[in-house]
Amino acid sequence: MRSRLPRTACILRIIALCILLSHAAAYFGLTGREPLVFLPGPFPNDAPTGKAHLKQCEQMTLTRRQKRLCRREPGLAETLRESVRLSLLECRYQFRNERWNCSLDGRGSLLKKAFKETAFLLAVSSAALTHALAKACSSGRMERCTCDDSPGIQHREAWQWGVCGDNLKYSTKFLKKFLGQKRVSKDLRAHMEAHNINVGTRAVKSGLKTTCKCHGVSGSCAVRTCWKQLSPFHDTGRLLKYRYDTAVKVLSVTNAATGETELAGPRRHSQSPRTTDLVYLEDSPSFCRPSRYSPAQGGGRAPKTRAARVYAVDAATTRPCTSPACPATARCAGAAMWSVKRA
């Protein structure tokens, strides 16, 4: 996998699958082929001092080149761990009411496939790393980058950039360097993964806003202090969840003009997916029955939930409940039948 998907393999190493408050267990490699690495917690808010970051770099399963970058930049190890925390918590939050709830069980098997869930995990992980890098720059946790200092907005001569903005330009550039800029092969899976990684980065970019404060006599706003600021990561997660819900199933086609392999929809003469679309190759399992991909959400009768006005009913006369008000267990074909009743 490393030789075929060098860039994807790099980002898969960055994603941890479990962080606990007292003792953090992290897989740096979603495929499940990497060893389990235990990182002591809780994590401090400040960047490690002296040579403490060197030990953190060694604890992470990174490539030789990535470890060299990690040792060179004292704040990078902490930033990588922050990106792990962001991606894990956001995935769990966005899928809290879904059949697949971002559980750790079966994650290794799931990531070897090309489901919609795989696409989301790649996107949210690259987005978290982009976001964490930009925040680390603006907060001074990384020595080799600073605030965003290139507004690129009209009439900027009247503006004073006095607040440290989130340096998305640097984080995007560093992300490409860290993951490695390799030419994507003709392999369809490689194209899918590279596409979804870029979707995550674009989602962060779409949330970059300019915030300003006015200064002057009687509020004349003679001078404005402005800075670039990223949206909360929850906003990025919400956008990626929408991309997941509207993900496009694709196949590979060859461009007659260039000879390059491209992604296209399953229908004949279908256009290529947009740069903002999450793409996948295989239909997802139901996640209702136990499998190697996830523990089951269904099977057995779920408890009555009066707050959601959901009640168990006769399976012979009622279809499975599909309303968002139903628990995830009720939306599984093998679970007890449910219906929603108005109070």
Q: State pLDDT tens for residues 66-102.
A: 888 888 888 888 888 888 888 888 999 999 988 888 8
Higher pLDDT, 280 or 306: 280
Residues 281 and 249: beta-carbon distance below 8 Å: yes
37 shares its domain with 136: yes
187 shares its domain with 332: no
208 shares its domain with 330: no
Q: Which residues pair with 208 in a beta bridge?
A: 230
Residue 335, SS3? strand
Q: Would you state the pLDDT for residue 116?
A: 93
185 shares its domain with 311: no
| Domain boundary residue, one of 264, 280, 296 | 280
Does residue 326 lie within any of the structural domains? yes
115 shares its domain with 230: yes
Instruction: Give the C-alpha distances (Å, rounded to integers) separating 113 from 110, 192, 198.
Output: 5, 11, 19
318 shares its domain with 234: no
Name the CA dihedral angle for 53, 16, 63, 170, rounded to a multiple of 10 degrees: -70
231 shares its domain with 331: no
Residues 169 and 208: beta-carbon distance below 8 Å: no
Does residue 108 lie within any of the structural domains? yes
| pLDDT at 106 exceeding the cut of 70 | no
Model confidence at 58, pLDDT cuts 50, 70, 90, reads confident
107 shares its domain with 216: yes
Residues 14 and 70: beta-carbon distance below 8 Å: no
Does residue 301 lie within any of the structural domains? no
CA-wise closest residue to 250 among 200, 197, 192: 192
Does residue 92 lie within any of the structural domains? yes
Q: Which domain holds residue 89?
A: 6-280
146 shares its domain with 244: yes
Q: Would you state the pLDDT for residue 277?
A: 94
| pLDDT at 282 exceeding the cut of 60 | yes
| pLDDT at 237 exceeding the cut of 90 | yes
User: Rounded to the nearest 10 degrees, what angle do helices 6-14 and 188-206 cross at?
Assistant: 50
327 shares its domain with 230: no
234 shares its domain with 320: no
| Domain boundary residue, one of 280, 295, 318 | 280
Does residue 187 lie within any of the structural domains? yes
pTM, full prediction:
0.72
> Mean pLDDT throughout 165-185?
76
Task: Specify the number of domains making up the chain.
Answer: 2
Model confidence at 10, pLDDT cuts 50, 70, 90, reads low
Written as six digits, the tokens of 89 are 């918590």
77 shares its domain with 196: yes
> Mean pLDDT throughout 116-133?
91
Q: Would you state the pLDDT for residue 7?
A: 58
Does residue 285 lie within any of the structural domains? no
Does residue 299 lie within any of the structural domains? no
> Mean pLDDT throughout 148-154?
55
Q: Is 57 left (phi over 0), alpha (psi -120 to 50) or beta?
A: alpha
Does residue 295 lie within any of the structural domains? no
Strand 279-280 to 248-249 pairing: parallel
Q: Would you state the pLDDT for residue 24?
A: 35
Q: Would you state the pLDDT for residue 167?
A: 82
